[in-house]
Structure 1
Amino acid sequence: MLNRIDEEITFRKLEILLAFMESGSLARAAERLGISAVSVHRALHSLETGTRCSLFRLEGRNLQPNDAAHALADVAREVLQAMSNGIRATREIAGYAADRIRIGSLYSLTSVTVPAIIMGLRLRKPDIQTELVMGSNQELLRRLREGTLDATVMGFPEDAPDVESQLLFEDGMFFAAPAGSPYAQQDEIDLGALGDERFVSLNEGYVTRDRFVDAFRVAGFEPNVVMTTNDIFSLMNLVGGGIGCTLLPGRIRNVLPRNVCLVPLQPRYQMRQKICVVFLRTRERDPNLLSLLAACRSHAEELKG
């Protein structure tokens, strides 16, 4: 069993001891540490109390370290370096200020939004490595809370008081149909008149699925969903193949297959998505996340311009 260390001996006092030993005087040590000479003298005297031995002798008005002080200083260097390494290793295991960052994303955000954010992050931290994980809103939030993700770009999570978020943009929902269908010629879609239509959708847990359900709740009927998928790109192909129609966010317009068109919904059926970068509130001071947030704010400003 280790002997109990006196509470008078602290890391801070060992740092003061090393500053004094290296600078050679109370005044220079105080200047280096940004404290008063009296505070330095008090800390050194406290170390003598904690070790229960003399560490210094007076030569005139100057304080001189003896052999015991040099021995304690040697140990202090090792202890402080070991603790510094241990704290760094602990933070890296926890994902704080490591040389990598794990970012979650919805599939629909990987064509424009996520690449722009990652490029902005690398401008601020060139050496950082990025791991990208795809999933649903529900899955990404779960992984964030489990600690396997550092941040995630997703739809704004409702009823999640343990997270912070930075809004990137708001996105509207559109009716998606085969390009050759009669719907493609309409100026807007009356969702309430499509009770006999076949639909395809994402599985539960995706923000796009939530808005799909919300829109049909307004329409007053439950749609005939003939097939579901976990991938929005597969969903678009199902529409293009004539399997069924669906609702899609406007952000996928640039990657929309040629055989699929987006048509505005009538105002009463229009739904909005808030797309945010989300992270745990307990991580709000993490340097990597602060750099990520700066990149996100920059991207959000570009979108406004």
Structure 2
Amino acid sequence: MAIDNEITFRKLAVFKVFMETGNIARTGEALGLSGVSVHRALHSLEEAIRCPLFSHKGRNLVALPAARKLLEYTEEATGILEKGIEETRKIAGIGQRRLRIGTLYSLTLETVPRLIMGMKLRRPEVEMDLTMGSNQMLLNQLDNGALDAILISVNAGELDKTQLEVLPLFHDDIFLATPSSAHLSGQQPADLRDYHQQKFVALAEGFATYAGFQEAFHVAGFEPEIITRVNDIFSLISLVQAGVGFTLIPGRMRKVYEHDINLLRLAEPYQMRQLIAIVFARNRERDPNLLALAAEGRMYARSLGGMEAQ
């Protein structure tokens, strides 16, 4: 026998609470429903099952043996469904004691440690796994469910905001980085055309500053001589420190490396800004771990003041 479309888990939940309380008013109070809604749900369920469940004594409903039998199976069915939902959420990593966060390497200097410290205060039972990589790699891992949330550089129109929740943290300017030993002929702000004879090092394709690097030199009107490409920003800066070449890096690296390399503000035609944001799937916006991360992200953004990198 096919199950009637009018038999829903919501109506069964109303039925279950009514069988426990024996009273329409108390059932409505427990579920936040009006007495009329409770009565309608019970009557609709009775019609869909096509057998009497209650007898009327005055204004009261009295459960018949058929209702008590239905209650047995309702408790079993709802118990199985609850367990199924719990196991499903566990497989998806939702609401568990582990949060898988992906981040750009450059954000591990300050942003990520502060967010993790805040998260440990909010949800001390949650263990956080950290994965570092390029913008594109992190987006791919978020898309295939390998990560729960990522901290990346967001470009306008790059992300589908119908599918993804984007929480801005701060904006960051891009600078020209040169070895501290370099004898610079150009003045600040730096005109990239003054450096057309210099050698450069760069991040590989897929990293946050890759497209900006390409665009800046396109505006400058020349193709830079790139000695090598690397897969993390710390290796990139080490090459600059060693005098291997110049590069472009975000200003958030300034605090740690300002005494080891020169950071020159770019002239107006080449200026770029990155928007750093927390990104996670919109269909997981009610996950308590992600709610806590979002709340911590908002606090962090407010602490920076004006959305500028500190």
TM-score (norm 2): 0.88
Return the offset for 1:187: 4.5
- Match of 1:141, SS? helix
Instruction: Give me the whole-angstrom Cα distance separating, in 1, the residues matched to 2:191 and 2:108.
Output: 31
Question: In structure 2, what is the equivalent of residue 86 of structure 1?
Answer: 84
On the 8 A contact 2:186/2:194 being kept in 1, the answer is no
Return the offset for 1:186: 5.4
Instruction: Give me the whole-angstrom Cα distance separating, in 1, the residues matched to 2:169 and 2:23.
Output: 54
- Match of 2:184, SS? helix
Instruction: Give me the whole-angstrom Cα distance separating, in 1, the residues matched to 2:13 and 2:95.
Output: 24
Return the offset for 1:59: 4.2
Distance 1:254 1:54, change over 3 A: same
Return the offset for 1:247: 1.4
Return the offset for 1:184: 9.9
The code of the aligned residue for 2:82 comes to S
Distance 1:198 1:5, change over 3 A: same
Instruction: Give me the whole-angstrom Cα distance separating, in 2, the residues matched to 1:8 and 1:160.
Output: 40
Instruction: Give me the whole-angstrom Cα distance separating, in 2, the residues matched to 1:29 and 1:69.
Output: 16
Question: In structure 1, what is the equivalent of residue 278 of structure 2?
Answer: 277
Distance 1:62 1:172, change over 3 A: closer
Distance 1:107 1:77, change over 3 A: same
Return the offset for 1:296: 1.1
Task: List structure 1 segments (4+ residues) > 6 angstroms apart after TM superposition.
Answer: none
Greater mean deviation of Cα atoms: 269-278 or 154-163: 154-163
Return the offset for 1:185: 9.8
Question: In structure 1, what is the equivalent of residue 238 of structure 2?
Answer: 237
**2:178 maps to 1:180:** no
Question: In structure 1, what is the equivalent of residue 197 of structure 2?
Answer: 196
**2:100 maps to 1:102:** yes
Instruction: Give me the whole-angstrom Cα distance separating, in 2, the residues matched to 1:281 and 1:15.
Output: 28
Gaps of 5+ in 2: none
Question: In structure 1, what is the equivalent of residue 68 of structure 2?
Answer: 70
Return the offset for 1:172: 1.3
Question: In structure 2, what is the equivalent of residue 113 of structure 1?
Answer: 111
**2:158 maps to 1:159:** yes
Distance 1:280 1:184, change over 3 A: farther
> Structure 1 vs Structure 2: percent identity of aligned residues?
49
On the 8 A contact 1:178/1:184 being kept in 2, the answer is no
Question: In structure 1, what is the equivalent of residue 43 of structure 2?
Answer: 45
Instruction: Give me the whole-angstrom Cα distance separating, in 1, the residues matched to 2:284 and 2:60.
Output: 47
Instruction: Give me the whole-angstrom Cα distance separating, in 1, the residues matched to 2:177 and 2:168.
Output: 26
Distance 1:257 1:4, change over 3 A: same
Aligned length: 303
The code of the aligned residue for 1:215 comes to A
TM-score (norm 1): 0.89
On the 8 A contact 1:236/1:257 being kept in 2, the answer is no
- Match of 1:211, SS? helix
Return the offset for 1:226: 0.6
Return the offset for 1:19: 1.4
On the 8 A contact 1:200/1:244 being kept in 2, the answer is yes
Distance 1:61 1:265, change over 3 A: closer
Instruction: Give me the whole-angstrom Cα distance separating, in 2, the residues matched to 1:176 and 1:272.
Output: 15
Question: In structure 1, what is the equivalent of residue 225 of structure 2?
Answer: 224
Instruction: Give me the whole-angstrom Cα distance separating, in 2, the residues matched to 1:204 and 1:291.
Output: 32
On the 8 A contact 1:237/1:257 being kept in 2, the answer is no
Return the offset for 1:258: 4.8
Return the offset for 1:124: 3.0
* Aligned mate of 2:14, from 10, 13, 16: 16
Distance 1:43 1:182, change over 3 A: same
Question: In structure 1, what is the equivalent of residue 207 of structure 2?
Answer: 206
